[in-house]
Amino acid sequence: MPRNFFLDFITLILSRRYLIWELIKREVAAQYIGSRLGFIWTIINPLVLILIFWFVFGFGLKAKPLNDIPFVIWLTAGMAAWFNFSEIWSRATTIVVANPHLVKKVRFPTSILPVVTVGAALVSHVVFLGLLIILLWSYQVPLTFWVIQALYYYLAMVVLVLGLSWLTASVNVFFRDTGQIVQLLLQIGFWGTPIFWDINIMPPIVQTVLKINPIYYIVQGYRDSFIYGIPFWQDWRWGLYFWSVTALILLAGALVFRRLRPHFADVL
């Protein structure tokens, strides 16, 4: 049963790529509709954020470099992964509810909506990564070919967030509180995941507990790819753990979404 769901889903994405593309364009444009600077905001927001990091941690707090890597670079690499994840998850949770006309009035494959969110969020993600690379270059941190590995971690994050989004987006149709709960979880996740702080300051037992959070795998993976050049198979046990958890979430998400989807038009 779920196998068919995934197979259908993949053929759906391929056959309706034009529709998905159009929806992504709408989604991206919708964020800036009516604003003067429009797309430039996509660059301004992360730029200002990174400038604040640089100022606060570089000048204000004089944060110590971690393994000879300036803190601001280390922070930005982890932040890039986290921001993309949190943007997709929080948006995708409300995406079904936000498009009642598509759900109720026309024949429309709702399961692609989270994919649209992923696509739309890619724009700001690419900008963020571009700023990260500029930062690396300005601090003269050598960029290795391990950067390509970030693609693997990105895809891993997409699979995880798709499962989560199917789950929360469909439940949110019934309980609008879900959106708030997701926001709350993201708040906790932001501080609970070693993004602003180094996991190595914790005792080993706590470190293990912290690694249970699958997002840590992604955040650390981005740092490994952009800064340290560590291959993803070096810590294969945690990789295996991540994929097991992700597969479970994906399965649960698909199952719940499939069960609840026929009711969307009736409840919205």
Nearer to other proteins, 70 or 163 (CB): 163
263 binds other proteins (CB under 8 A): yes
Nearer to other proteins, 116 or 156 (CB): 116
CB 232 within 8 Å of CB 152: yes
CB 108 within 8 Å of CB 101: no
Nearer to other proteins, 2 or 229 (CB): 2
Nearer to other proteins, 3 or 107 (CB): 107
Among the listed residues 19, 98, 133, 202, the single contact to other proteins using CB under 8 A: 19
Q: Which two tokens stand for residue 39?
A: 């797309």
Applying the rule CB under 8 A, the residues between 29 and 48 that interact with other proteins are 30, 33
Q: How far apart are CA 2 and CA 150, in angstroms?
A: 29
Q: How far apart are CA 229 and CA 215, in angstroms?
A: 19
Name the minimum Å distance from CB 15 to other proteins.
Answer: 8
For residue 84, how many C-alpha atoms fall within 13 Å in the half-sphere facing its CB? 32
Provide the sign of the torsion angle of the four alpha carbons 67, 70, 76, 79, taken in this order: positive
Nearer to other proteins, 15 or 180 (CB): 15
Nearer to other proteins, 133 or 256 (CB): 256
18 binds other proteins (CB under 8 A): yes
Nearer to other proteins, 105 or 237 (CB): 105
Q: How far apart are CA 176 and CA 100, in angstroms?
A: 14
Name the minimum Å distance from CB 214 to other proteins.
Answer: 23
Among the listed residues 3, 64, 105, 237, the single contact to other proteins using CB under 8 A: 105
Among the listed residues 102, 141, 199, 251, the single contact to other proteins using CB under 8 A: 102
Q: Quickly count helices (H) and strands (E) in the chain.
A: 12, 0
CB 126 within 8 Å of CB 150: no
For residue 232, how many C-alpha atoms fall within 13 Å in the half-sphere facing its CB? 22
256 binds other proteins (CB under 8 A): yes
Residue 66, SS3 per DSSP: strand
Binding string, residues 132-171; x marks residues near other proteins by CB under 8 A = ---------------------------------------x
CB 119 within 8 Å of CB 24: yes
Bridge partners, residue 66, by sequence: 69
Q: Which chain residues interact with other proteins by CB under 8 A?
A: 15-16, 18-19, 22-23, 26, 30, 33, 101-102, 104-108, 171, 174-175, 256, 259-260, 262-263, 265-267
